[in-house]
Amino acid sequence: MKQRKEILRALRGTIGIAAGVLVASSASATAPCGDLGECKALVEINSSDGDIGFHFLMDADDVQKARLKNPDGKRIFKAEGFNQLREQRFTETFVESTEPLCFDPLTDADPENDDEDFATLEDFLNLWDAGTYTFVAGERQESGTGETELTFDLPAAPTGLAFDDATGVISWSAGDDLGECATSAELDTLVMQGDLPVHPQDVPVTSWEIVFALDVDDGDPLAGVDFSIRVPGGIATKEVTVPAEYLNALPEDTPAKIEIGAIGAGDNATFTEVGDICVNENAGCD
């Protein structure tokens, strides 16, 4: 147990130092957002699992009630504090929609997901509206407002993810599709139909988010002790080195995976992940 605690302390120190050196500045929200501190609405896609969701965040002071309106002015979200929370008030609110599969599960080789709900990319684009989303938040008698823009400029999924366990280098390439959510040809069709304003391969990437995640159970002491970093979208060589101090401090046979996100100017994000990495392999990872 003592050794485990020492490992955790070493890892957290290493992550703090390494991430602090290379993180690139990238807008995570509209700030300021009118009368509010910040706000943002975005689309996030997991191209490997094949799911898609609508995310939003709002930050304001002394909030008792908050709501979000779509571009048509219709309320799509409402939050309110009661009793102790109404008296103390709340500030930041972050919400993720459910993220259904973006393909028909009956068409893949996995029978375990056959009963899952799904909504294709076209379904998602027809459900949501691009445009101005309005946040209203404040006390019961006085509220402030703020606006943010949701676009359907969806960055293409990163591809060619690789991890060199000898050097600790993570590498990847820019892609031309949305993985399990849509092929390049299907995206061509959506652009021609007017559902998408631009093909994802033509959406500029403003930053790349790279995560080296330990693939352990939630209750494991190492859960969440990951290495993550953002680098500018225009980097010439798409490579990041995971610090040797971090990797060497991990126990033998630690399972891990890498996740790479392409982040667009409006913070829409498309992630790709690759697993089956065994760090400090000895007996092998199950």
Residue 18 confidence (pLDDT) above 80: no
Instruction: Write the CA distances from 182 to 120, 174, 216, integer angstroms.
Output: 8, 16, 30
pLDDT, mean of residues 38-53 = 94
Q: What residue segments make up the domains of the chain, in order of their start?
A: 2-27+153-279, 38-150
Q: What is the pLDDT of residue 29?
A: 64
Residue 12 confidence (pLDDT) above 90: no
Distance separating alpha carbons of residues 89 and 91, to the nearest angstrom: 7
State whether residue 145 is helix, strand or coil: strand
pLDDT, mean of residues 231-250 = 94
Q: What are phi and psi of 229, to 5 degrees?
A: -160, 150
State whether residue 46 is helix, strand or coil: strand
DSSP category for residue 24: P
On the 0-12 / 13-18 / 19+ scale of CB atoms within 10 A, 254 is buried
Whose CA is closest to 60, among 37, 88, 28? Answer: 37
Least confident piece of the model among 11-15, 83-87, 126-130, 258-262: 11-15
For 147-184, the pLDDT digits (tens) are 999 999 999 999 999 999 999 999 999 999 999 999 99
* Choice between 218 and 194, residue whose per-residue pLDDT is larger: 194
38-150 has CATH 3.30.2010 classification? no
Calculate the CA 176 to chain-centre distance. Answer: 19
pLDDT, mean of residues 19-41 = 66
Greatest mean pLDDT among 16-20, 93-97, 158-162, 282-286 lies in 158-162
Least confident piece of the model among 34-48, 90-104, 209-223: 90-104
Edge-first strand listing for the sheet containing 131-138: 75-80, 65-69, 131-138, 143-150
2-27+153-279 and 38-150 share one fold: yes
Q: Name the average pLDDT for the chain.
A: 87
* Choice between 28 and 122, residue whose per-residue pLDDT is larger: 122
Number of H helices, E strands in the chain: 5, 14
User: Which fold would CATH assign to domain 2-27+153-279?
Assistant: Immunoglobulin-like (2.60.40)
Distance separating alpha carbons of residues 71 and 52, to the nearest angstrom: 20
Residue 28 confidence (pLDDT) above 70: no
pLDDT, mean of residues 137-146 = 83
